[in-house]
Amino acid sequence: MTKMLHLILLVALCALSAQALNNGLARTPPMGWMTWERFRCNINCAQDPDNCISENLMKVMADHLVSDGYKDVGYEYVNVDDCWPAKERDAQGRLQGDPERFPSGIKALADYIHSKGLRFGIYEDYGTKTCGGYPGSLGHLQTDAQTFADWGVDMLKLDGCYSNVTMMKKGYPQMSNYLNATGRPILFSCSWPDYERGAKIPINYTMVAEYCNIWRNYIDIQDSWDYVLKIIDYYAENQDVLSNVSAPGSFNDPDMLILGDFALSLYQAKAQFAMWAVMAAPLLMSNDLRTIDPRYRDILQNKQVIKVNQDPLGIMGKRILQLANGIEIWLRPLVSQSYAMVILSRNDRQPIRFNTSLQAMGLYRSDGYDLTELWEGTPLGRFKPYDLLPLSVNPNSAEIIRLTP
Ligand SMILES: *[C@@H]1O[C@H](CO)[C@@H](O)[C@H](O)[C@H]1NC(C)=O
Ligand SMILES: *[C@@H]1O[C@H](CO)[C@@H](O)[C@H](O)[C@H]1NC(C)=O
Ligand SMILES: *[C@@H]1O[C@H](CO)[C@@H](O)[C@H](O)[C@H]1NC(C)=O
Ligand SMILES: *[C@@H]1O[C@H](CO)[C@@H](O)[C@H](O)[C@H]1NC(C)=O
Ligand SMILES: *[C@@H]1O[C@H](CO)[C@@H](O)[C@H](O)[C@H]1NC(C)=O
């Protein structure tokens, strides 16, 4: 990319960030842990006390974030998803935690998480009920915003089950304004565009970015490599629209990281992590930090890959090449005219040596770039536009490389 193009990109970016939700949060993609993908709506504390949605589960995960090094590399949000509330609101119409599973109350849980230097995220729904059938926020938006602020909530994910999707263009901005009016900065995670996509209602991402810090665009991830690939494809197919709205304060959310769960091999886990880094996605793990294999932990804590994800420009990378043998090349512009390149292999046969050069990716800088492989931090040397890159990528995996001018 030429200097001029880079400049245009920066100018466009500044114009965009002026429209991002102005609460000072998510200047880089938020990092943390959340319950949903791994623990779902397990409320069976009688028979499964260690894995049910409860204050104990949240506290244990917060402890592990601190003791096992995650907090040190940037993971800070501890988020409970659906199935935390009691089935009924209290006498004043306020939400309350399930009394058996959250006996100390939600505020005490938030206090505990804050005492560890972490932040607390919660879940609600812009409908009559949450997806799991708990009380929804419709008709209570202002009360719920205030309750969350009173409890010390730092992030709200607002889902969209049991709602009228045509009302979301009004309702989500309303909730965003109610959160703002509490005076407590609360990162706002919106499921709004995903529901509009599902209902085939045109999505106005300029508007979404004005009222939300992060937003879900596409289906829920499941514990499956196929889902990781499906999600990547959606972002590739819509990359011109989506990369346009990715900026400090506002990020597309391809859903949780499933590294360390049951489905992904170590190589596939690298692919998910590299892709989420290059897409400027929130890094919200949903896994069991008590039992995770340390090899997956090491991937999740790779500082150089996290640095790509957290790059201050906040630009979402794009798929710029699809080569033979299921190889895709993604490129993300970073600060100081650097780039991150991800080589994703969907090949399921063998390691692929691939034979391409920087100019094939549109990188014509005559002095070339220093390349560093980021999994091991290995310097690969300096490459000019027409030099062939001596790279190989394993099946169902990804290489991630930093290019420095
Ligand atoms: C509320 O919005 C105003 C105007 O965008 C902004 O300056 C302020 O920081 C916001 N406050 C919170 C708590 O989000
Ligand atoms: C959904 O809301 C729209 C107004 O935004 C209204 O016209 C429509 O009747 C509502 N649909 C249902 C099923 O309530
Ligand atoms: C999208 O939202 C923006 C900001 O709210 C608004 O200015 C613009 O007119 C909307 N675009 C369409 C096509 O409705
Ligand atoms: C990107 O954003 C700009 C400025 O808002 C807009 O004019 C352009 O149409 C957008 N491009 C796409 C592909 O959405
Ligand atoms: C790589 O490409 C060059 C130039 O196109 C060609 O000469 C060479 O045979 C290729 N090597 C492999 C291993 O495909």
Q: CATH number of 318-404: 2.60.40.1180, 3.40.47.10, 3.40.50.1360, 3.30.70.120?
A: 2.60.40.1180
Q: What is the pLDDT of residue 207?
A: 98
Q: What percent of the chain has pLDDT over 90?
A: 94
Which amino acid residue places its CA nearest to atom 2 of ligand 4? 244
Mean pLDDT score, 266-292: 98
Q: Is the CB of 199 under 6 A from ligand 2?
A: no
**Rounded Cα distance, 214 and 197, in Å:** 16
Q: Is the CB of 19 under 6 A from ligand 1?
A: no
Which amino acid residue places its CA nearest to atom 5 of ligand 2? 167
Q: Is the CB of 19 under 6 A from ligand 2?
A: no
What is the end-to-end Cα distance of the chain in Å, rounded?
Answer: 12
Q: What is the pLDDT of residue 17?
A: 47
**Rounded Cα distance, 354 and 343, in Å:** 10
**Over the stretch 320-353, which tens digit does the pLDDT of each residue have?**
999 989 999 999 999 999 999 999 999 999 999 9
Q: Is the CB of 265 under 6 A from ligand 3?
A: no
Residue 14 has pLDDT above 50, yes or no: no
C-alpha 223 to ligand 5 mean position (Å): 38
Candidate of 17, 22, 27 to mutate for ligand 1, largest count of ligand atoms within 8 Å of Cβ: 22
Q: Is the CB of 388 under 6 A from ligand 4?
A: no
* DSSP string for residues in 300-319: HT-HHHHHHHT-TT-PPPEE
Q: Where in the chain do CATH 3.20.20.70 domains reside?
A: 3-309
Q: What is the pLDDT of residue 2?
A: 47
Write the DSSP symbol of residue 42: -
Task: State if pTM tops 0.85.
Answer: yes
Domain spanning 3-309, CATH class:
alpha beta
Q: What is the pLDDT of residue 354?
A: 81
**Over the stretch 208-227, which tens digit does the pLDDT of each residue have?**
999 999 999 999 999 999 99
Residue 9 has pLDDT above 70, yes or no: no
Active site (catalytic) residues: 159, 220
> How many Cβ atoms are within 10 Å of 289's Cβ, its own excluded?
21
**Over the stretch 147-184, which tens digit does the pLDDT of each residue have?**
999 999 999 999 999 999 999 999 999 999 999 999 99
Mean pLDDT score, 245-269: 98
Q: Where in the chain do CATH 2.60.40.1180 domains reside?
A: 318-404
Q: What is the pLDDT of residue 19?
A: 75
Q: What is the pLDDT of residue 404?
A: 98
List the Cα angle 103/80/271 in 5-degree steps: 150
Which amino acid residue places its CA nearest to atom 1 of ligand 2? 164
Q: Which residues fall within 8 angstroms of residue 362, CB to CB, at 6 or more apart?
A: 1, 320, 331
Q: Is the CB of 180 under 6 A from ligand 1?
A: yes
Q: Is the CB of 166 under 6 A from ligand 2?
A: yes
Q: What is the pLDDT of residue 380?
A: 97
Residue 262 has pLDDT above 50, yes or no: yes
Write the DSSP symbol of residue 389: P
On average, the pLDDT of the chain sits at 95
**342 near 316, Cβ under 8 Å?**
no
Q: What is the pLDDT of residue 6?
A: 52
Which amino acid residue places its CA nearest to atom 7 of ligand 4? 244
Q: Which residues fall within 8 angstroms of residue 69, CB to CB, at 6 or more apart?
A: 297, 301
Q: Which atom of ligand 4 is nearest to the CA of 240?
A: 13
C-alpha 243 to ligand 4 mean position (Å): 10
* DSSP string for residues in 50-110: TTSSSHHHHHHHHHHHHHTSTGGGT--EEE--SS-B-SS--TTS---B-TTTSTT-HHHHH
**Over the stretch 117-133, which tens digit does the pLDDT of each residue have?**
999 999 999 999 999 99
Mean pLDDT score, 10-16: 48
Q: What is the pLDDT of residue 351?
A: 95
Q: Which atom of ligand 2 is nearest to the CA of 166?
A: 5
Q: What is the pLDDT of residue 350?
A: 94
C-alpha 203 to ligand 2 mean position (Å): 17
Among the residue ranges 9-23, 100-114, 139-153, the one predicted with the least confidence is 9-23
* CA 389 distance to own-chain centroid: 31
Q: Is the CB of 202 under 6 A from ligand 1?
A: no
